[in-house]
Structure 1
Amino acid sequence: MFIDKYYEEYEIGESRESYGRTITESDIVIHAGQTGDFYPHHMDAEWCKTQPFGQRMAHGTLTFAIAAGLGAGDINNKSMTYGYERLRFPRPVFIGDTVHGVFSITEKKPHPRKPGYGLVTERVELKNQNDETVLVCDHVHFVECREK
């Protein structure tokens, strides 16, 4: 769905939650092929048994891509991605984990060099089935102002 949501319409504290998505072995294998990251942490079940987590884990870049996809919703004609900041992976994601995103507006400020536009920061938290945070970052949106 296409919407027109201007900078002034964003409220600090507003939040939304995504549906869940279960991570599969296929997700990990396809991502390894796409990126060339065949590290044993993702691909070698026997080697992982000797490591602290005891099992294969999803790539951080795969986890991030899934978080970005879960955050995608309505297409806002007045906004685009400006970038992501402070990306962290506090816990691993394993095959069979089901993750969902929680997205909360944490900051708004005028763009320092582009009059008529603002920057809206949305905290992204990806949580597993136990409600443990597995990814956290700030998604900064470049948003047109209604009043220029």
Structure 2
Amino acid sequence: MNSMYFEDFKIGQKFTTLTRTITDTDITDFVELTGISSPLFMDEEFAKKSIHKGRIAPGPLTFSFAMGLFTRLGIFEETVMAFLGMDGMRLSVPVKPGDTIRVEVEITEKKETKKPDRGVIKEKYRVINQRDETVMMYEMSHLTKRRQ
């Protein structure tokens, strides 16, 4: 998909990403890289005794992979000017090794700015697993280029 400008977006417009399967190695590498360490992420025996009945992925890993999937759509590739913020993140179902996620993104708001070369786009993200369960939701805002 080509990059989209502020004018190209429509409120209610939806995009769906490709999928990605989360592996044990993904979790281990992410934990080692970030230092977000917990036995729920790294110790299978400990995690089996938890409410999750096994290892889970850290929420920031799920968010990072979700953003990677969204980025690959290419809609902001050449037109995003800035990430403005994120609101309302909720994690409702744990992501486990072997789960496959995709992201559904809906454009919820558009605001013109005082500067004619840019506008603000607000999006709602829903990360969904292979069982069609919503595992994470959040909203983000981006400053995007306008056509001149």
Q: TM-score, normalised by structure 2?
A: 0.89
Correspondence 1:22-101 to 2 at 5 A: 22-72=21-71, 73-74=73-74, 75-80=76-81, 81-101=83-103
1:39 deviation in Å?
0.5
1:2 deviation in Å?
5.6
User: CA deviation digits over 1:29-49, x for unaligned, max 9?
Assistant: 000111112201101111112
Structure 1 regions of 5+ residues with no counterpart?
A: none
The percent of aligned pairs where both chains have the same amino acid is: 35
| C-alpha distance in structure 2 between counterparts of 1:7 and 1:100, whole Å | 24
| C-alpha distance in structure 1 between counterparts of 2:44 and 2:88, whole Å | 30
Pairs aligned (count): 144
| Aligned residue in 1 for 2:115 | 115
Secondary structure of 1:66 counterpart: helix
1:77 deviation in Å?
2.5
- Please give the root-mean-square deviation of Cα atoms over the aligned residues, in Å: 1.7
Q: TM-score, normalised by structure 1?
A: 0.89
In the alignment, structure 1 residue 134 sits paired with structure 2 residue 135: yes
User: CA deviation digits over 1:95-131, x for unaligned, max 9?
Assistant: 11111111110111124xx522221011111100010
